[in-house]
Amino acid sequence: MLEIRSFRRAESLEEAWELNQKKTNRVIGGMLWLKMSHGRCGTAIDLSGLGLDRIEEDDEAFRIGCMATLRQLETHPALNAYSCGAVRDAVKSIVGVQFRNLATVGGSVWGRFGFSDVLTVFTALGASVELYKRGILPIEEFAALPYDRDLLVRIIVPKCGAGKAGFAALSVRNSATDFPVLTVAAGYFHGTCPGIRVAVGARPQKAVLLEDPEGILKDGVTAESAAAYGAWAAEQVPVGSNLRGSADYRKHLTEVLVRRALLKAASAGDAWKTDNTNIGRAETAAVKPDSDPAAAKSDSAGGADAPGVVTFELNGRTVRREISADLLLIDMVREEGALSVKRGCETSNCGLCTVLLDDLPVLSCSVLAARAAGRKVTTLEGMQEEAAEFGAFIADQGAEQCGFCNPGFMMNAMALFREEPDPSEEKIKAYLAGNLCRCSGYEGQLRGIQDYLAWKKRKEGTH
C-alpha cells in the first residue's frame, strides 16, 4: 500500500495544481487504483471539497465533475436516457456497487487504462476532457497525451440534438466482475451531427476510435452493413494477447461486438427518436438536490478539524481522534470497537470490509480515514436489530458456511434494501456481485434474501 505523509483537502483548483507540481505528491480520486501502488506519496491531494462531485446538465451538454463516482454515472437518469443506457451498461460490471461508490470519473479517465470501460464509452459519446491548465480537448486526443501534472476537472458529454443519437456499450468478460476481454461502444448520430463513432477498448491497449472513412454505413445501419463494418473493424483495430484472451479471440470479438453494438445503437437511436418526449432536463431537475449523495458528500466534507485530527459519527456516536495520513477507514473503525468490519482481499475485490459512509456502501479498506471527516459511518454494530432479523433467514437457508464473508454481505444487502425495498432477483444479483463467497454457490443467500423480503412485506401488511 502507498505510504502517505500528509493529506490535504484543496481549497481551490489552483492550490491543488500547485501541490501537484511536486513529483512526490498525488491527486487522489477514489484511490482504488492508487492504493494498489507501492512507494511513498508526500501529500495526498483531495479534490472532494471543490463541488466537483456533480453531474450537471444544460441544453448543450452533461458536465461531469472529476469527483463524481462511477455509481453516479450508472444511476443518473438523464445521462442514461440520453446515452440509451450505454453509460450504465459500460460501468455496471466494474467490481461491485461498493467499489463504484468510490471510484471516480476523474481517476478512471486520467488513468487512460488499457482495460477501461469508461474511456471506451466516453469516446463513443464524443466527450471532451476539461483540464485545468490545458483547457478542453476531445477525449481521444487526451488519451494519446503523455501523463503530466495537470488536473482533470470535468468530462463534457455534448448533446447531439436531442432525439438524434443512439448509443450502446458492450463487453465480454471471463467472469462477471473481472476486467473486460474487450469493450466496444458505438454512437450512431442522425441529423445535425451525422456519423458514427465506434470505440474499441481493452484490446488490451486503451480504446481507439473508428469512424466510417469507406462509407460502409452511408446508407444506414442494416444487418448487412453492420456485418460488413464489423469485419472491416476487425481488420483495422490492433489487438494483442494477455492472460484474459488471445489476439485471435479479440479479433473475433471485435467483429462480433462492433456489429452488435452498431445494430443496438441504431435501433436505440430510432426508439429514442420516436419515444423521447419527456426525458432530459426535466428528469434531472426532478432529482431533489438533497437526495444527491454527491451533494451530501460535498457539504459534509467540511473538515474543520486541525490537520491529523478527524471528527466523524460512528454508529450514532461522535468520535474525535488523531489519525495518520494513511490510516484506512477499516483500521480506524476497528480501533473504535467496530470489530465486525474485516479484511479479506485488500485489493478492493471481495466486499468483506463493506461499511456505510453517509448511508452508501463502500469498501472501508480503500478509503482514507481522513475522508470520513464530518461524515456518518455505519457498521454492523450500528444495525443490530435489522441484522439479527435478516441473519436468521440466511442461517435458515444454511447459506452461512464458514461465515467469513457474512459481515460484508449483510451490510451490502441491507444497503440494497434501503435503496430498493422490493428488488428483483436480477437487481439482487447485480447489487451483491461485489461480495465474494468462497464456500457457497450464492443460491442459499439469494433464497434467504427473498424469504426475508417476503416476510417483511407480510409484516408490514403489504401482502
Ligand X SMILES: Cc1cc2nc3c(=O)[nH]c(=O)nc-3n(C[C@H](O)[C@H](O)[C@H](O)COP(=O)(O)OP(=O)(O)OC[C@H]3O[C@@H](n4cnc5c(N)ncnc54)[C@H](O)[C@@H]3O)c2cc1C
Strand order in the sheet with 309-314: 317-322, 309-314, 376-378, 354-357, 360-363
Binding ligand FES (rule: CB under 6 A), the pick from 43, 83, 254, 348 is 348
The answer to whether 216 touches 232, Cβ cutoff 8 Å, is: yes
Task: Give how many residues touch ligand FES by CB under 6 A.
Answer: 22
CA–CA dist 229, 258 (Å, integer) = 8
393 is in the binding site of which of ligand X, ligand FES, none (Cβ under 5 to 8 A by kind)?
none
Is the CB of 27 or the CB of 414 nearer to ligand X? 27
Binding ligand FES (rule: CB under 6 A), the pick from 15, 270, 292, 346 is 346
Smallest distance from the beta carbon of 88 to ligand X, in angstroms?
Answer: 13
Smallest distance from the beta carbon of 183 to ligand FES, in angstroms?
Answer: 23
Smallest distance from the beta carbon of 420 to ligand FES, in angstroms?
Answer: 22
Binding ligand FES (rule: CB under 6 A), the pick from 182, 202, 365, 449 is 365
Site track for ligand FES across 204-223, x = CB under 6 A? --------------------
Binding ligand FES (rule: CB under 6 A), the pick from 6, 300, 311, 349 is 349
The answer to whether 185 touches 198, Cβ cutoff 8 Å, is: yes
Smallest distance from the beta carbon of 312 to ligand FES, in angstroms?
Answer: 19
Within positions 161 to 180, which residues make up the interface with ligand X, using CB under 6 A? 179-180
Smallest distance from the beta carbon of 434 to ligand FES, in angstroms?
Answer: 8
Binding ligand FES (rule: CB under 6 A), the pick from 257, 363, 372, 453 is 363
CA–CA dist 11, 140 (Å, integer) = 30
Is the CB of 405 or the CB of 414 nearer to ligand FES? 405
Check residue 142 for interaction with ligand X (CB under 6 A): no
Binding ligand FES (rule: CB under 6 A), the pick from 343, 376, 429, 447 is 343
Within positions 8 to 37, which residues make up the interface with ligand X, using CB under 6 A? 26-34, 36
CA–CA dist 165, 268 (Å, integer) = 8
Is the CB of 268 or the CB of 352 nearer to ligand FES? 352
459 Cβ contact list (under 8 Å, min separation 6): none
Check residue 65 for interaction with ligand X (CB under 6 A): no
Choices 215-223, 299-307, 398-406, 420-428; region in contact with ligand FES by CB under 6 A: 398-406
Q: Name the CA dihedral angle for 410, 414, 416, 422, rounded to a multiple of 10 degrees.
A: 120
Which amino acid is it at 190? H
352 is in the binding site of which of ligand X, ligand FES, none (Cβ under 5 to 8 A by kind)?
ligand FES
> What does the block give as the cell for 276?
423521447
439 is in the binding site of which of ligand FES, ligand X, none (Cβ under 5 to 8 A by kind)?
ligand FES
155 beta partners: 64, 129
> What does the block give as the cell for 400?
452461512
Check residue 403 for interaction with ligand FES (CB under 6 A): yes
Check residue 401 for interaction with ligand FES (CB under 6 A): yes
Site track for ligand X across 75-114, x = CB under 6 A? -------------------xx-------xx-xxx-xx-x-
Check residue 413 for interaction with ligand FES (CB under 6 A): no
Is the CB of 82 or the CB of 113 nearer to ligand X? 113
User: 206 vs 27, 103, 127, 182, CA distance in Å?
Assistant: 22, 18, 16, 10
User: In the bound complex, which residue of the shown chain has the CB atom lying closest to ligand X?
Assistant: 107
Site track for ligand X across 424-443, x = CB under 6 A? --------------------
Smallest distance from the beta carbon of 362 to ligand X, in angstroms?
Answer: 12
462 Cβ contact list (under 8 Å, min separation 6): none
Binding site for ligand X (CB under 6 A): 26-34, 36, 47, 66, 94-95, 103-104, 106-108, 110-111, 113, 115-118, 151-152, 179-180, 347-349
Binding site for ligand FES (CB under 6 A): 343-346, 348-353, 363, 365, 400-405, 437-440
